Amino acid sequence: MLLLLFLCPGDANYNKEKDINLEKKTTGGGLEEFLVSPRKQNWTRCGDKMCQCKGYQARCVNHGHHLTYIPRFKQKITKLNFTGNYLPFIDNETFTNITELKLACLVLRNSSIQNCTRNAFNGLKSLRSLFIRNNTISSMELINCLSGVTKDLNNLNLEFIYLDKPWDLDLDKIMTDSKIDNLHLRNIEITHYNQSKLSTFKHVEIIRIYKSSINTITLDYSSTLKKLEFAHNPFSEFPTFCVNGYAYFPHLTYLNLRHNNIQSIKSELLTCMKFLTQFHIDNNRIHLIESNTFSNLPKLFLVSISYNGPDMVLQEFAFNSSSLKELYLYDNDIYFVNGKKHVNKDAFQYCTQLEELSVSSNHFGFTTNQMFEEIFGTLVNLRSLSVAHGGLEFLPSFIPKYLKKIEKLLFSGNNIIHIQEGYFNNLNSLKIIEINSNKIATVKQNTFSLQFLKQVKSIDLSNNTFSCNCELLWFINFLKTSPIRKRFNHFPKEYICGSPTVFKGKQLLQVRLSERICLTMYHIIIITVLTEILLLLTISFVYRYRWHLRYIMYVARFQRIRSHRLLNGGVNYKYDAYLSSCDADFDDVIYHELVPRLEGNMGLRLYIPQRDGQGNKIDQIISKMGVSRKVILFLSDKYVEDRYCEFEASFAYNKYINEKRDLMIAVVLKELRAKNVTKTILKILAVDNNIKWGWDEESLELFWLKITTAINNMDDLIVE
Ligand SMILES: *[C@@H]1O[C@H](CO)[C@@H](O)[C@H](O)[C@H]1NC(C)=O
Ligand SMILES: *[C@@H]1O[C@H](CO)[C@@H](O)[C@H](O)[C@H]1NC(C)=O
Ligand SMILES: *[C@@H]1O[C@H](CO)[C@@H](O)[C@H](O)[C@H]1NC(C)=O
Ligand SMILES: *[C@@H]1O[C@H](CO)[C@@H](O)[C@H](O)[C@H]1NC(C)=O
């Protein structure tokens, strides 16, 4: 019935083990009552008013010399925390007040224990967990204490015990046939660990020995041991877990050797443990991972070898494993360059199951794109990759090329200057990106696709050295207006201009850079460039004259038609709108999103050259634009570069000027590069009703509102 009472809720360290124990022992009755009942109650005074009780727990804390005995309790107590009182002498009388209680858990902390008789604990038959911490006691007296403890004890926890000499941990002698399954020792001097002195622990599953000055280790067989931790000790030899392939701990699943002084991992001393799933050996002095170190551990899924080195070398097939999923190699002073003294290009071959890799805080300043591909190109199942603080100067191309399943990319604290256009666009699972604290100067509209920004959960570009000039205008406006900005971590506080001097140190959000100013700047550049180009044009592009001549004739004819139309009070156009767009943009947005809505929902009659055009293109442009009420121009870089589009644009503009018709609706599909803002485009954009294609839902709404208003404006003749 009291199967679970050995648990001591309240101790943080021990609680971690609770899950393991719960799994194993939930069959006992009365469990719910024990675990659930104390929760809603308050602590009330008890035990000669020196203690507090709640449910089954009692604590008598910090009375120093005023509390020198264990009081009587009226309540049914199973856990007693006796901390910071004065109990220098423990004998068979000490616990008489609680022997009737079925006490399962006893904590004796800071209680100045000095002497202990062999029979002191004899009365506590139900004890399952015993914590003794922070007491100065001779090893003789400690042995006395433990020898009287019931054999049914499961959990023994000794911490900060200051003995007169190192302890040999010979528990066989004093705790024969003990049912201990969890032995935890910390800060208690044990220079030599000898497993054979624990051979009567037939049930032991967890042994943890922290900060206990272990220098040497001799192991012996235990079929029950599942979890072993020797951490923060000074030993330097890799313990001999295997002898000729025979395992001392055949069922070990978890091995932690952190913070010791080990210099090499000897695979032949490790690979006999076929059930090993986790291996931690951080903070040692490992500087070489040999070929196939882990290849014979079929259940291994986590290896953590961080804070080792210096100059760690990774040999070919170092991580060959058919099961490894998580690998942590940060801060090992590894130079990720090919070569015997550094990283063999095949070091990460044959560990294709790997899902999480951290190689942060190593050296990537000399790693070329090709080396990245060779070293990491086969890790196609990676979900999380961390290459932070490594002096990396660029975003390596192997990531978009091979890591199609990647969800998390961490690049903080490098020297990355530039995010390649569309770098992330095809990483459909990517959710978290950190490129904070790098040297990114600009982010443009094409850096991320809208689709990508919609899918990503968190993106951190904080603490970069942004150049707050016209190139960044789109990003600044985007951060000011788009709801997606919430996904940008640490915005706005840590998004700061690094240049120019006027804006240095200012938040991006505070920068006032209007589109008008930027356009004027383009204007100045463009006009100078254009004057030169124009000269060339007049000489070489005679070809164009044909269209213009044709146009001039058309305009002359039109003047007559216009006066005629005005006289008759307008005209019935054949089409509501003429769609002028370049072929490259046509499929994406225009044909699939705009056309169905304009034709289907709004019932407009559209003329679409790509769909409806036949015969000579120039003739078509001239005649069809003449019978369309509006001309919608979808501007983009490709548009400007296409000579038919260019013609359509200038034709429409000239119609606007000459016929005095408000016919143009300019839609900026993609922000134009400076060189593409030609004179005609500039003039078109200056006719003030141009509309931007939306990036997010807000601007999409705005787009539709504007375009609907523009098309519905029947009053298209500008009457003088
Ligand atoms: C016992 O009480 C002390 C002092 O309040 C507390 O720090 C400790 O966490 C409690 N529990 C255990 C298991 O030590
Ligand atoms: C038992 O408790 C009583 C009162 O609570 C106290 O006076 C007595 O000294 C205690 N006995 C021992 C052996 O500690
Ligand atoms: C404690 O032990 C002593 C001798 O070992 C014995 O005389 C005494 O009766 C014991 N007291 C109790 C309460 O068991
Ligand atoms: C990888 O490990 C397996 C299993 O130990 C082994 O058979 C294979 O030869 C190793 N591959 C290489 C390239 O060493």
Distance CA 640, CA 370 (A): 36
Query: Would you say how long the chain is, in residues?
Result: 720
* Cβ–Cβ < 8 Å for 446, 398: no
| Long-range contacts at 208-214 (CB < 8 A, ≥ 24 apart) | 208/183, 208/184, 209/184, 209/185, 209/233, 210/185, 210/186, 211/186, 211/187, 212/185, 212/186, 212/187, 212/188, 213/166, 213/189, 214/190
* Alpha helix stretches (DSSP H) within 442-542: 450-455, 473-481, 515-540
Which ligand 4 atom minimizes the distance to the CA of 296?
5
pLDDT at 521: 61
Query: Which ligand is the nearest neighbour of the Cα of 74?
Result: 2
Every domain range in the chain assigned CATH 3.80.10.10: 22-165
Q: Do 332 and 307 form a contact (C-beta atoms < 8 A)?
A: yes
Predicted local distance difference test score (pLDDT) of residue 706: 76
- 602 contacts 556 by C-beta, under 8 angstroms: no
Nearest CA, atom 1, ligand 3: 92
Residue 636 has pLDDT above 70, yes or no: yes
Write the pLDDT tens digit of every residue in 439-471. Answer: 999 998 888 888 888 899 999 999 999 998 888
The CA distance from 82 to 91, in Å, is 16
Kindly report, as residue ranges, where domains of CATH 3.40.50.10140 are found in the chain.
574-712
Q: List the structure tokens of 254.
A: 């978890």
**Predicted pLDDT of residue 343:** 94
Q: How far is it, in rounded angstroms, from Cα 6 to Cα 34?
A: 11
Q: Mean pLDDT over residues 319-329, rounded?
A: 97
Within the chain, what is the greatest distance between any pair of CA atoms? 123
**Token reading at 95:** 């616990």
Number of H helices, E strands in the chain: 18, 34
Q: Give the least confident one: 18-22, 31-35, 335-339, 438-442.
A: 18-22
pLDDT at 16: 39
For ligand 2, atom 11, the nearest C-alpha belongs to 97
Return the percent helix, strand and coil in the chain, to nearest 5: 30, 20, 50
Taking residues 277-296, report their average pLDDT. Answer: 96
Relative to beta strand 356-358, strand 384-386 is parallel
Structure confidence by residue, pLDDT tens digits, 470-488: 888 888 888 888 888 889 9
Q: What is the pLDDT, as a whole number, of residue 308? A: 95
Better-predicted residue by pLDDT, 281 or 33: 281
Both tokens of 165, joined, read: 């000499």
Query: What is each CA distance from 717 to 296, 299, 552, 693, 713, in whole angstroms?
Result: 83, 79, 21, 26, 10
Say if residue 510's pLDDT is above 90. no
Rounded mean pLDDT, 99-127: 91
CA 216 from centre of chain = 40
Distance in angstroms (rounded) separating the CA atoms of residues 321 and 307: 22
**Closest ligand to residue 96's CA:** 2
Which range of 310-324, 654-668, 683-697 scores highest in mean pLDDT? It is: 310-324
Reported as a single tens digit per residue, the pLDDT across 263-282 is: 999 999 999 999 999 999 99
70 lines ligand 2 (CB under 6 A): yes
Burial of 176 per CB tally in 10 Å (0-12, 13-18, 19+): exposed
Query: Which of the listed residues 5, 11, 51 should we mutate to test ligand 1's pocket, taking the one with most ligand atoms within 8 A of CB?
Result: 11
Tokens of 151: 């054999």
**pLDDT score recorded for residue 219:** 95
350 in contact with ligand 4, CB cutoff 6 A: yes
| Number of the ligand closest to the Cα of 130 | 1
- How far is ligand 1, taken at its centre, from the CA of residue 11, in Å? 6
CB-based pocket (< 6 A), ligand 3: 92-93, 96, 119
Asked whether residue 7 carries a pLDDT value surpassing 60, the answer given is no
In the numeric block, which tokens belong to residue 96?
């008489």
Domain 22-165 has CATH 3.80.10.10: yes
**Residue range 574-712, CATH number:** 3.40.50.10140
Query: What pLDDT does 640 receive?
Result: 85
- Helix, strand or coil, per DSSP, at residue 147: helix
What's the mean pLDDT in 575-585?
Answer: 85
| Count of beta carbons in the 10 Å neighbourhood of residue 510 | 12
Instruction: Kindly state if the Cβ of 691 falls inside 6 Å of ligand 2.
Output: no
| Residue 626 CB partners (closer than 8 Å, separation 6+) | 558
Instruction: Provide the H-helix boundaries in 397-487.
Output: 398-402, 450-455, 473-481
Q: Which residue has the higher pLDDT, 390 or 42?
A: 390
Residues 6 or more apart whose Cβ sits within 8 Å of residue 288:
264, 312, 313, 315
Q: How far apart are CA 585 and CA 564, in angstroms?
A: 38
Mean pLDDT throughout 675-681?
Answer: 82
- Give the number of C-alpha atoms closer than 13 A to the C-alpha of residue 359, restricted to the C-beta side: 22
More confident residue, 91 or 163: 91
Q: Which of 67-71, 185-189, 224-228, 467-471 is the least confident region?
A: 467-471
pLDDT in tens, 513-538: 766 667 666 666 666 677 777 777 76
Helix, strand or coil, per DSSP, at residue 653: helix
pLDDT of the residue at 21: 37
Q: The pTM is what?
A: 0.70
Closest listed ligand to the CA of 60: 1
Does 331 have pLDDT greater than 50?
A: yes
- How many Cβ atoms sit within 10 Å of the Cβ of residue 340? 9
State the average pLDDT over residues 685-701: 72
Which one of the ligands is nearest to 148 CA? 3
**Residues with Cβ within 6 A of ligand 1?**
8, 10-11, 59, 61, 81, 83, 107, 109, 131
> Does residue 230 carry a pLDDT above 60?
yes
| Cβ(104)–Cβ(79) below 8 Å | yes
Residue 10 has pLDDT above 70, yes or no: no
Do 435 and 416 contact (CB within 8 A), yes or no? yes
Q: What's the whole-number mean pLDDT along residues 212-216?
A: 93
State the closest ligand 3 atom to the C-alpha of 123, by its place in the atom list counted from 1. 14
Which residue out of 14, 43, 51, 81 has the highest number of ligand 1 atoms within 8 Å of its CB and is therefore the one to mutate? 81
Q: Is the CB of 352 under 6 A from ligand 4?
A: no
Q: According to the model, what pLDDT value does residue 6 have?
A: 42
How many alpha carbons lie under 13 Å from residue 398 in its C-beta half-sphere?
17
The vertex-457 CA angle with 455 and 459, nearest 5°, equals: 110
Average pLDDT over residues 685-707: 73
Torsion, Cα 56 61 66 69, to 10 degrees, reads: 40
Percent of the chain whose pLDDT exceeds 70: 85
Q: Quote the mean pLDDT of the chain.
A: 84
Name residue, tokens 């260019």: 646
Residue with CA at minimum distance from ligand 3 atom 14: 92
